[in-house]
């Protein structure tokens, strides 16, 4: 790692994590000079219980709030414009996103529209200049996350918005919201976070801060995801996965978009397939190709996947092979814990073959589109993780 040219690392949000972490929310909002937040969420995607848990945390704080709970996967800039109008009319002073994925994406762009005082949010685009900090923004993730909730990225109806200023001021991870009875939902969130953190840990522009965030995220996933998938009551394991997702979002925001990250986003944008599904089936192939280009990356990967004692005792010449073996063992163990519910190829994920040409056209726009195509071809029909 060459640090002679210097480096930058940005992670602007504060994290509150633990049992009843939400009860600190009124105090944290006060510190952000907020007394009247607008909560953006989805009754269908989050559920009434989680919404009650969040609103109940305000207790006798004296704060008033608004709740919009009708965000769907079909959200577009028209909804952003509607919510901007609601925010202004209700004289709200901050935004809280409860949930993950599209809910947080919409909230990020609403914050952009309000902060820029956009005359019409429907005119916002990927080229919209974001030159400074936006309004106060809090993210309260549930178990159904993509790992980008804390990142600089937002996607609304396939349109990308990218800026460090889109990242939240505060992230609250509460054990009451981080668990789910659906092991597949937990696995998807974990694989998306794992894939992005793993790519960040071996990125050419990595630095000590990125390494720290990525390493912690990888260890949290490796040591807790399977337990969280198997046991919906394992609140410590579920909270560890939630923390890993938050850290991976920060890590990926400080490096170029990796192969796994980009492939996951293509299928999420085109088919609403969770990025963790695609990243999981492509993980072994992409990492194996990276190690062929630079075998020294094997040490970084291996250390993240095994205990320190096992890593220290492994001869350097064997670390590449052992890194791949450890990765495959983890993926196989996760697959077994789900009883085969996680798709192993695009066919299992419900991606029709007649759509492949459209997928390849989108991928071809990437600078290394030819390589991305080879990865997709390897997981189109055949077994993944071969």
> What is the model's pLDDT at position 312?
87
Class of domain 14-178: alpha beta
Give tens-digit pLDDT for 302-350.
988 888 888 888 898 899 999 999 999 999 999 999 988 889 899 999 9
Give tens-digit pLDDT for 252-296.
999 988 999 999 999 999 999 999 999 999 999 999 999 999 888
Residues of the chain with CATH 1.20.1090.10: 183-378
The predicted model scores a pTM of 0.94
pLDDT tier at 386 (50, 70, 90 boundaries)? Answer: very low
Give the whole-number percent of the chain exceeding pLDDT 90: 84
Distance of alpha carbon 332 from alpha carbon 313, whole angstroms: 24
Distance of alpha carbon 54 from alpha carbon 81, whole angstroms: 25
**Residue positions counted in the chain:** 386
Distance of alpha carbon 369 from alpha carbon 360, whole angstroms: 8
CATH code for residues 183-378: 1.20.1090.10
Token representation of residue 96: 């809280």
Q: Do residues 225 and 176 touch, judged by C-beta distance below 8 A?
A: no
Of the candidates 371, 192, 186, the residue with the CA atom closest to the CA atom of residue 267: 192
Phi/psi region, residue 244 (left: phi>0; alpha: psi -120 to 50; beta: rest), is: alpha
**Pairing outcome for strands 153-156 and 137-140:** unpaired
Token representation of residue 237: 């394991």
Give tens-digit pLDDT for 168-191.
999 999 999 999 999 999 999 999
Distance of alpha carbon 124 from alpha carbon 2, whole angstroms: 39
Distance of alpha carbon 114 from alpha carbon 308, whole angstroms: 48
Of the candidates 131, 133, 132, 150, the residue with the CA atom closest to the CA atom of residue 141: 150
- CB environment 89-123: b (16+ within 10 A), e (fewer): eeebbbbbbbbbbbbbbbbbbbbbbbbbebeebbe
Phi, psi of 188 (to 5 degrees): -60, -45
> What is the model's pLDDT at position 341?
85
Q: Do residues 185 and 143 touch, judged by C-beta distance below 8 A?
A: yes
Residues of the chain with CATH 3.40.50.1970: 14-178
Q: What is the DSSP letter of 70?
A: B
The kind and range of the H/E element at 225 are: helix 208-230
């Amino acid at each position: 790692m060459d640090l002679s040219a210097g480096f930058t690392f940005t992670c602007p949000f504060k994290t509150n994590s633990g049992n009843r972490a939400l009860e600190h929310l009124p105090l944290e909002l006060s510190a952000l000079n907020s007394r009247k937040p607008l909560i953006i969420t989805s009754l269908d995607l989050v559920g009434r219980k989680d919404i009650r848990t969040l609103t109940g945390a305000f207790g006798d704080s004296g704060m008033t709030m608004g709740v919009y709970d009708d965000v769907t996967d079909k959200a577009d800039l028209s909804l952003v414009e509607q919510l901007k109008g609601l925010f202004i009319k209700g004289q709200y002073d901050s935004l809280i996103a409860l949930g993950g994925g599209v809910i947080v994406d919409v909230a990020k762009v609403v914050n952009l529209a309000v902060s820029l005082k956009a005359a019409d949010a429907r005119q916002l685009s990927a080229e919209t200049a974001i030159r400074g900090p936006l309004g106060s923004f809090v993210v309260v993730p549930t178990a159904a996350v993509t790992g980008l909730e804390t990142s600089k990225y937002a996607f609304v109806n396939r349109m990308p918005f990218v800026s460090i200023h889109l990242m939240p001021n505060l992230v609250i991870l509460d054990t009451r919201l981080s668990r789910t009875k659906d092991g597949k939902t937990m696995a998807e969130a974990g694989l998306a976070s794992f894939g992005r953190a793993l790519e960040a840990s071996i990125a050419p522009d990595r630095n000590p801060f990125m390494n720290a965030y990525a390493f912690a995220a990888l260890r949290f996933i490796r040591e807790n995801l399977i337990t969280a998938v198997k046991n919906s009551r394992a609140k410590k394991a579920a909270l560890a996965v939630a923390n890993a997702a938050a850290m991976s979002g920060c890590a990926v925001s400080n490096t170029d978009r990796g192969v796994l990250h980009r492939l996951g986003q293509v299928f999420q944008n085109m088919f609403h397939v969770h990025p963790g599904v695609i990243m999981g089936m492509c993980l072994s192939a992409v990492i194996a190709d990276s190690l062929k280009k630079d075998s020294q990356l094997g040490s970084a990967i291996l250390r993240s996947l095994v205990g320190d004692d096992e890593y220290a005792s492994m001869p350097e010449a064997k670390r590449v092979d052992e890194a791949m073996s450890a990765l495959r063992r983890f993926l196989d163990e996760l697959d077994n814990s789900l009883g085969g519910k996680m798709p192993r190829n695009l066919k299992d994920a419900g991606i029709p073959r007649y759509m492949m040409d459209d997928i390849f056209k989108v991928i071809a726009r990437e600078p290394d589109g030819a390589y991305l195509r080879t990865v997709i071809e390897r997981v189109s029909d055949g077994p993944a993780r071969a």
